[in-house]
Amino acid sequence: MVLFFRTLWKLLTLRFRPPLDSLGTSILRFRVWPNDLDVNIHMNNGRFLSVMDLGRFDLSFRTNLGRVMLRHRWKPLVGGVTMRYRRSLDPFERYELHTRLLGWDEKWVFLEQRFLKRGGDLAAEGVVKALFRGRDGNVPVAEVLRQMSYTGAQPELPEAIRQWAKG
């Protein structure tokens, strides 16, 4: 239920957050609520993944990607996630989720999502591999970029991400 209210709140306040460049970083602020906790009384590892959805949503709709997806009825689909948990997030603790586009290949876009505790300590970080699917199947990233009117350079993906993408 808490995730529903978080989603609704982020949706309602989206228009008050400034637009982002395609390679900009979305920063969302949250607090760990009792519904987020596991038996060890810290944020459940699955909840991190659910909150990451909100970061990707925010990034999409603060760039012009969101409008493009709606216009073409494209659905973003996650193809893989790799996570690294560093520090616990405790009950009622505040944290930030930083989401940014790392780069892409012909099929996939890769995003980095970092959970930062107060003071900037890294709690967890993940890399997400995602694609877009339209009525006729997967949409090539080149078409997504064309529809977004993106004319910038393609960031170079780190070697570890390129290797992960192959698997």
pLDDT (tens digit per residue) in 14-62 = 888 899 999 999 999 999 999 999 999 999 999 999 999 999 999 999 9
> How many angstroms separate the CA atoms of 130 and 133, rounded?
10
Cβ atoms within 10 Å, residue 47:
19
**Contact (Cβ atoms closer than 8 angstroms) between residue 32 and residue 164:** no
Residue 111 has pLDDT above 70, yes or no: yes
How many structural domains is the chain composed of? 1
**Contact (Cβ atoms closer than 8 angstroms) between residue 15 and residue 45:** no
Residue 2 has pLDDT above 70, yes or no: no
pLDDT (tens digit per residue) in 70-81 = 999 999 999 999
Q: Where are the beta strands (DSSP E) in the chain?
A: 25-31, 75-85, 94-104, 109-117, 122-134, 137-139
> How many angstroms separate the CA atoms of 30 and 52, rounded?
11
Q: Which CATH number fits the domain that encloses residue 155?
A: 3.10.129.10
Q: Which amino acid is at 53?
A: D
**Which residue segment(s) compose the domain that 70 sits in?**
2-166
pLDDT (tens digit per residue) in 136-146 = 999 999 999 99
